[in-house]
Amino acid sequence: MRHSVIGVVCLVVGAASIGTALAEPVELRVGTLSPDGSSGMKILRKGADEIEPRTERRVRMKYFAGGVQGDERDMVRKLNLGQLDGAHLTAVGLSLIDESIRVLELPRLFATAEEFDYVADKLWPVLQKRFEAKGFRLQDRGEVGWVHFVSQSELASLAELKKQKVWLNGDDTIVRALFKRLGVAGVPLSVPEVQPALTTGRINTAYGSPLTAVALQWNTSVKYLSSLPMYYQVGGTVMKLDALKQVSAADQGLITSLSKGMSKTLRKQIRKDNESAKKQMERKGVTITAVPPDMIAGFDKAAMEVWKEMTGKVFTKAELALVLKYRAEYRAKYPAK
């Protein structure tokens, strides 16, 4: 009898072990506009490919690249409906969850990428708490880079800019406010609509990083890239906390660690790719235009007005104060030469 009981116990334990070994991993579904085959997407997929073996097949991350899940508004809606578990988004997409992240994208705020890094690294934990309160885990930061105008006509003055049919991301409250201050009538479109609109003439001017212009093929429909950087575009991956509840604390820690390393690699690669994209655009006949001082002054004046207008609406006075404090710290440590 004793041997029979032991046999039954061993059978049950063995069956449970086999069931665990054969159980399907928890699949985390992540959407992004990043084109499949791009160097950024390759890094994201490489990081995802490490998760399954590192968690001993308990967790798998699946990316849906190239906007197959829709634009960023669609992806945030699917997150809220439980149709996606995460999304790799620009700050405009992230702002549909919590707008405060846009404080890092105020126009004419940063002078260098290094200055941006210093401030963003300091502020990121504050933003992560904001997202946590909304039911999301904001992973380590990503980025898009310096945003410039790309156009079919040369933009040598604000007066010339006002004449153009300029794309406006419909969800971008900060650029909308900037355009209003500059007297620019933006044409609201989603990101996937920009290239067709440039081709048909619905718009003749857009804005983005050089890498964005090449990756989304805007460069094939424009002749000029303005040397004036409007702002530094940030991004990041968010995961629904409800989805992560399916994953053990240990595995969540592993995913966070892998994400941090992947984000660091991604930021370095994106900066290289932006430089390569700018050179590629020049080789293909796109002219990089200098911006006259009066146009810069006009932009700076409008930018400062937007900072004031957005305070208390998009971000708090305290959050802006933190950003300016960290920027001042950086400039004191590393004065401009």
Ordered by start, the domain boundaries in the chain are 2-333
Which band of pLDDT confidence, cut at 50, 70 and 90, is reported for residue 23? low
Query: Would the pLDDT of 17 be above 90?
Result: no
Query: Would the pLDDT of 333 be above 80?
Result: yes
Average pLDDT over residues 309-314: 97
Query: Would the pLDDT of 147 be above 90?
Result: yes
pTM score, whole prediction: 0.89
Query: Would the pLDDT of 198 be above 70?
Result: yes
What local confidence, expressed as pLDDT, does residue 337 receive?
A: 77
**2-333 CATH choice from 3.40.190.170, 3.30.460.80, 3.30.70.20, 3.30.70.2200:** 3.40.190.170
Average pLDDT over residues 273-302: 96
* CA–CA separation, 210 and 148 (whole Å): 8
Query: Would the pLDDT of 3 be above 50?
Result: no
Which band of pLDDT confidence, cut at 50, 70 and 90, is reported for residue 76? very high
Picking from 17-21, 56-60, 67-71, 254-258, which range would have the lowest pLDDT averaged per residue? 17-21
